[in-house]
């Protein structure tokens, strides 16, 4: 799998190449994404009804995805960030959005892992 093929699944290759002009830099940062703990922190915080911590983790994921042009995960992390923005979020909505974030994260992380294995 090429980096371009990887991005055809998870995001926007042309956009990330405008931000990070060398593929080696993109590869370095997408591999680092796999080590980031924000996703685990988000899911744990939601499970524990700690919505302030969940907001912070979701916001971090959103920023990472925006910088790395992971469009699908960016969209779902943006939605959950906004749902968590106030002090008393709609918990049913948060739970529903968490399912989408889980799905998008699984696709994104799984694709990056497959890409890494093939390097």
Provide the CATH topology of domain 3-117.
Answer: 1.20.120
Please answer whether residues 16 and 69 qualify as being in contact, where contact means their C-beta atoms are separated by less than 8 angstroms. Answer: yes
Helices (H), the chain: 3-10, 13-19, 23-33, 38-47, 51-68, 71-84, 91-117
Tell me the CA distances in angstroms from 38 to 17, 18, 34, 59, 60, one per residue in order: 24, 25, 10, 9, 7
- 82 token code pair: 């906004």
pTM, two decimals, is 0.94
The ranges assigned to domains in the chain are 3-117
Which tens digit of pLDDT belongs to each residue from 80-105?
Answer: 999 999 888 999 999 999 999 999 99
């Amino acid at each position: 799998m090429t980096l371009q093929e990887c991005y055809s699944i998870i995001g926007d290759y042309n956009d990330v190449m405008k931000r990070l002009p060398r593929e080696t830099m993109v590869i370095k940062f997408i591999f680092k994404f796999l080590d980031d703990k924000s996703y685990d922190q988000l899911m744990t915080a939601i499970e524990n009804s700690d919505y302030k911590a969940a907001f912070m983790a979701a916001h971090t994921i959103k920023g990472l995805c925006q910088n790395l042009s992971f469009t699908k995960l960016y969209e779902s992390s943006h939605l959950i960030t906004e749902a968590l923005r106030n002090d008393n979020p709609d918990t049913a909505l948060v739970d529903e959005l968490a399912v989408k974030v889980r799905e998008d994260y699984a696709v994104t992380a799984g694709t990056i892992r497959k890409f890494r294995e093939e390097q």
